[in-house]
């Protein structure tokens, strides 16, 4: 797919004509609130088969064409290169897909075998409605092999809404995790009404992951964590109760999300994780943890000190890096998930644990801050789709912070108040997916379902093959 950034005066008709793609498909992929109102700086996912190559030192058009199996001329035409001999490291080239012209008597099965892909991949890449209706002379884009990752999504939605999400993009999830079972000081767990969504997940071959936590939106949970983690009997009791829920409801993974843990409980937390693994592995269950976004082993602060990256990476089956919330709802306006800060966290994690244990946390919501920011004033949180609708409503131009790889805009409301909005778009999603590929991470973990963001799901599907596990 191509990501196109709208310039002044451009219309959707002009853009889709330029790329020779279907306008209705483009509207659907981007969830455009009003196709006749595009914003300067707005990014659009264009459903044109192909991929991007970031030019490296020493690259030539010949070496790139050999790498991707396309002709030099095809690359020149796709990128409208005026001087093919001059390539600048760091810039992107669009690499068109390999094209196959259907011959008389050929079937999709024969074509997929020839190129080492699958029939379904060709159908998806070419938006084929009826696989039996291919004909001689028809041009088919042949999909390239994509890296395989696992995908998790947390949710705190109702059963009904979560099931609707599964019907829409459940095929792009490996795990899902209702948030969350709250532990109590006596080692019991606060019940959840989650059986309907757990059953729906299993019917879609999505692995249910049981999240247990010590905090709420109003309670930090430090003392609660201390009471449980410092008492060996309570540690056992929490796991006994978690196992009972898993056995009864059909969960297959335990996700331990203890936050604001006191520094003196660091080793107790590590022992709790080891106990969890010792008790769950014999039953065939996995253990994962959620980690605050640290950039060094000595990082100070209640969020970080008890989260021992080396121990979690060694003990747990995988970890979720909570690489979001720099743009905190009670803090000043800024990118919620700046890629430069995310990269620091990932690189530290990779220094103490293998890449195949790391999920990159990906927030899928937007925030609107009043200006000037007053300390403690809460930003409004909503979906990336609402951010675009709001920009359209107030006629804002979308800007893009290239350091944070995040879009933002400012507007003045009906009361004359200034606002600053930071959100996610196609470019910011692609930047995160590129980082997953660069570091060969295990996958992506979304926080959280309930915020419509169609561009993300289209690009996730375009960039990766999603691993599905046997239930």
Is residue 420 part of the annotated active site? The answer reads no
CA 122 to CA 106: how far, in whole Å? Answer: 14
Helices and strands: H and E segment counts in the chain: 16, 21
Tokens of 178: 């209702």
Q: Are 61 and 87 in contact (CB under 8 A)?
A: yes
CA 4 to CA 240: how far, in whole Å? Answer: 52
DSSP characters over 388-438: HHHHHHHTPPPEEETTTTEEEEEEE-TTS-EEEEE---HHHHHHHHHHHHH
CA 272 to CA 236: how far, in whole Å? Answer: 8
Q: Which of 205, 107, 192, 124 is nearest to 158 (CA)?
A: 192
Cβ of 121: how many Cβ atoms within 10 Å? Answer: 17
Q: Bridge-partner residues for 290, per DSSP? A: 320
Q: Bridge-partner residues for 212, per DSSP? A: 181, 256
Among the listed residues 125, 259, 420, 424, the single catalytic one is: 259
Q: Which of 322, 357, 338 is nearest to 443 (CA)?
A: 357
Phi, psi for 138 (deg, rounded to 5): -70, 135
Helix boundaries (H) for 127-231? 159-169, 195-203, 222-229
- Would you please indicate which residues are annotated as catalytic (active-site) residues? 259
């Amino acid at each position: 797919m191509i990501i196109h950034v709208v310039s002044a005066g451009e219309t959707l008709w002009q853009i889709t004509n330029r790329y020779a793609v279907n306008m209705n498909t483009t509207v659907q992929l981007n969830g455009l609130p009003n196709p006749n109102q595009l914003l300067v700086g707005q990014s659009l996912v264009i459903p044109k088969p192909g991929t991007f190559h970031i030019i490296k030192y020493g690259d030539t058009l010949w070496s790139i064409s050999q790498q991707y199996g396309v002709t030099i001329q095809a690359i020149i035409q796709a990128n409208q290169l005026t001087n093919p001999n001059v390539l600048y490291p760091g810039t992107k080239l669009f690499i068109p897909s390999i094209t196959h012209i259907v011959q008389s008597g050929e079937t999709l099965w024969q074509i997929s075998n020839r190129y080492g892909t699958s029939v379904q991949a060709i159908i998806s890449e070419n938006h084929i409605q009826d696989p039996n209706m291919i004909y001689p002379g028809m041009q088919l884009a042949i999909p390239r092999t994509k890296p395989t990752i696992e995908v998790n999504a947390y949710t705190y939605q109702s059963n009904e809404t979560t099931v609707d999400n599964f019907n829409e993009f459940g095929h792009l999830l490996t795990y899902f995790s209702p948030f969350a079972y709250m532990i109590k000081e006596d080692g019991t767990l606060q019940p959840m009404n989650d059986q309907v969504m757990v059953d729906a997940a299993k019917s879609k071959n999505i692995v249910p992951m049981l999240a247990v936590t010590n905090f709420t939106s109003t309670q930090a949970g430090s003392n609660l964590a201390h009471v449980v983690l410092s008492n060996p009997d309570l540690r056992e009791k929490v796991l006994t109760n978690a196992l009972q829920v898993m056995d009864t409801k059909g969960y297959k993974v335990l996700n331990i999300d203890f936050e604001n843990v006191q520094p003196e409980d660091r080793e107790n937390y590590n022992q709790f994780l080891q106990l969890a693994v010792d008790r769950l592995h014999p039953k065939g269950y996995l253990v994962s943890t959620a980690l605050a976004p640290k950039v060094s082993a000595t990082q100070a602060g209640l969020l970080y000190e008890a989260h021992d990256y080396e121990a979690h990476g060694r003990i747990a089956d995988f970890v979720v890096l909570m690489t979001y919330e720099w743009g905190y709802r009670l803090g000043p306006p800024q990118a919620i998930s700046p890629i430069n800060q995310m990269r620091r966290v990932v690189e530290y994690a990779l220094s103490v644990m293998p890449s195949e244990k790391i999920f990159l946390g990906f927030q899928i919501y937007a925030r609107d801050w009043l200006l000037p920011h007053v300390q403690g004033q809460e930003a409004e949180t909503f979906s990336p789709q609402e951010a675009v609708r709001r920009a359209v409503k107030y006629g804002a131009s979308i800007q893009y912070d290239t350091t944070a790889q995040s879009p933002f805009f400012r507007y003045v409301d009906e009361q004359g108040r200034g606002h600053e909005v930071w959100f996610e778009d196609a470019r910011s999603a692609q930047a995160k997916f590129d980082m997953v590929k660069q570091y060969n991470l295990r996958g992506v973990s979304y926080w959280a379902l309930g915020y419509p963001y169609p561009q993300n799901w289209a690009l996730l599907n375009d960039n990766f093959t999603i691993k599905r596990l046997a239930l």
